[in-house]
Amino acid sequence: MVVQGVNIRKKHQRSYTVGGQTVPGRIIEFEAPIHISNVMLVCPQCNRPVRVGIRREEGRRIRICKRCGNEIG
Ligand SMILES: [Zn+2]
């Protein structure tokens, strides 16, 4: 998945020649996919970014704060 604005990468492309025409070098900006596990959630109880764990309950996946055990959205 891609989280917007989180993982902007810049790629420098050098100029190259194709068919006698020179294509100037440029900087390409793109959003790289970031794994959901790398996204820090702010726990409302701890009021700081925390790691989240998954608890399964009745087939549902519940995200919990690994710090205080609070359920997060
Ligand atoms: Zn917490």
Does residue 30 sit in the same domain as residue 4? Answer: yes
Does residue 28 sit in the same domain as residue 50? Answer: no
**How many whole angstroms from 50 Cα to the centroid of ligand 1?**
7
Count of domains forming the chain: 2
Does residue 26 sit in the same domain as residue 47? Answer: no
Does residue 28 sit in the same domain as residue 13? Answer: yes
**How many whole angstroms from 2 Cα to the centroid of ligand 1?**
25
Residues 6+ apart with CB under 8 A from 20: none
Cα 29 from Cα 57, distance rounded (Å): 41
Q: Where are the beta strands (DSSP E) in 1-73?
A: 8-13, 16-18, 21-23, 26-31, 41-43, 48-50, 52-57, 60-65, 71-72
pLDDT in 10s for each residue of the chain, 73 residues = 556 666 777 778 888 888 888 888 888 887 777 666 656 778 889 998 888 888 898 888 888 999 999 988 6
**How many whole angstroms from 69 Cα to the centroid of ligand 1?**
6
Does residue 30 sit in the same domain as residue 52? Answer: no
Range of the domain at 12: 1-34
**How many whole angstroms from 43 Cα to the centroid of ligand 1?**
5
**How many whole angstroms from 58 Cα to the centroid of ligand 1?**
22
Does residue 22 sit in the same domain as residue 46? Answer: no
